[in-house]
């Protein structure tokens, strides 16, 4: 993973009212036949509505016991209770508000020192209201299997332990094999903690102190939790999946979110079109690892492996992707 800085009665008489009362009573009785739900329980998350634990194990036949269906389900359910409002002045001055949908509490979890400066207020203002419950679906709970295929492809590639092109080796590694690099960079907002290493961990291999801090801010409401204890991402499987959902759904810096580019929400500007940017799977590669894999032609092996996984999951889900660009071979990487 690349470095990122730092998303209503009418009156009809007594007979009518009595009839309606009977109908409503019957409806209430019928509704009681099912299990009663707690007040705050949401409908089943759209992604998990189309596959079971058995299916999950077939999708990832060699997956580590760290990466389980239960952990993924819990991560999706819990992240679905979180919204974040990401405000920016220019590209790099942030104010982030985290909303807990269960309690209704909104908390400012990040406001950069320059936010209220007069010069900063003159910068372009943008805002993103991000609901993590829209992962692989939308507010109407409409399933997006193409997005699911893209997400599974990326986490499979990032955690694979083999290169036999059978695409059965995903979700095997919970962290990088080579942990000798600490992945520390200078970051005023998310400074590295002495002695901590921020190498790739989790399904999307979260790496660098900036990413750990931003993830901790959005997921947990406190940047210091993962900055101080980055190893939690490789010891807590639910948290590990949450970091992947966070990264997939959250735009950062100049980058749109992978969710927006694969679903077609994001529309490239004229300048972005000149850089070869197009909605589709290829842009998700650029967001995740563009500096290493993009604008290097169609033969780049890691990019080809990601595309292979994508086609594998599209086939598993009995769908096709005829609208998006799968390759990033002619896309300029992001500058950061």
At 58, is the secondary structure helix, strand, or coil?
A: helix
Distances (CA, A) of 315 to 146, 306, 308: 10, 14, 11
E strand intervals along the chain: 82-89, 93-100, 105-111, 125-131
Determine the Cα–Cα distance for residues 62 and 199; give it in Å rounded to an integer. Answer: 23
Instruction: Measure the CA–CA gap between 212 and 233, rounded to whole angstroms.
Output: 9
Whose CA is closest to 83, among 142, 139, 124, 6?
Answer: 139
Secondary structure (3-state) at 149: helix
DSSP string, 275-313: TT--SSHHHHHHHHHHHHHSSS-TT-HHHHHHHHHHHHH
Catalytic residue among 2, 87, 147, 158: 158
Q: Is the dihedral of CA 308, 309, 314, 315 positive or negative?
A: positive
Tell me which residue has tokens 């901790």.
216
What is the number of helices (H) and of strands (E) in the chain?
12, 4
Distances in Å between the Cα of 88 and the Cα atoms of 92, 113, 130, 208, 245 are 7, 13, 14, 22, 21
158 counts as catalytic = yes
Active site residues: 158
């Amino acid at each position: 993973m690349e470095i990122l800085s730092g998303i209503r009665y009418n009156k009809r008489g007594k007979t009518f009212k009595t009839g309606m009362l009977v109908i409503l009573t019957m409806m209430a009785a019928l509704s009681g036949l099912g299990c009663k739900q707690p007040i705050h329980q949401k409908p089943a998350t759209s992604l998990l509505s189309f596959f079971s634990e058995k299916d999950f194990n077939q999708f990832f036949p060699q997956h580590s016991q760290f990466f389980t269906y239960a952990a993924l389900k819990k991560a999706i359910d819990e992240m679905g209770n979180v919204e974040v409002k990401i405000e920016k002045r220019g590209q790099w001055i942030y104010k982030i508000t985290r909303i807990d949908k269960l309690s209704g509490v909104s908390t400012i979890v990040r406001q950069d020192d320059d936010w209220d400066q007069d010069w900063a207020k003159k910068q372009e203002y943008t805002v993103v209201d991000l609901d993590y419950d829209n992962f692989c679906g939308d507010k109407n709970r409409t399933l997006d299997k193409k997005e699911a295929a893209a997400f599974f492809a990326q986490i499979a590639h990032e955690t694979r332990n083999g290169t036999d092109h059978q695409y059965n080796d995903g979700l095997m590694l919970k962290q990088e094999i080579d942990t000798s690099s600490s992945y520390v960079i200078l970051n005023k907002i998310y400074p590295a903690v002495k002695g901590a290493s921020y190498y790739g961990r989790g399904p999307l291999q979260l790496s660098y102190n900036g990413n750990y801090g931003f993830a901790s801010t959005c997921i947990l409401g406190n940047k210091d939790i993962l900055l101080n204890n980055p190893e939690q991402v490789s010891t807590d499987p639910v948290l590990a999946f949450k970091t992947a959902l966070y990264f997939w759904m959250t735009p950062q810096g100049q980058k749109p979110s992978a969710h927006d580019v694969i679903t077609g929400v994001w529309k490239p500007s004229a300048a972005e079109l000149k850089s070869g940017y197009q909605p589709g799977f290829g842009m998700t590669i650029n967001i995740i690892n563009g500096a290493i894999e993009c604008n290097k032609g169609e033969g780049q092996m890691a990019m080809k492996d990601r595309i292979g996984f994508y086609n594998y999951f599209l086939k598993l889900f009995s769908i096709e992707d005829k609208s998006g660009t799968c390759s990033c071979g002619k896309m300029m990487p992001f500058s950061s």
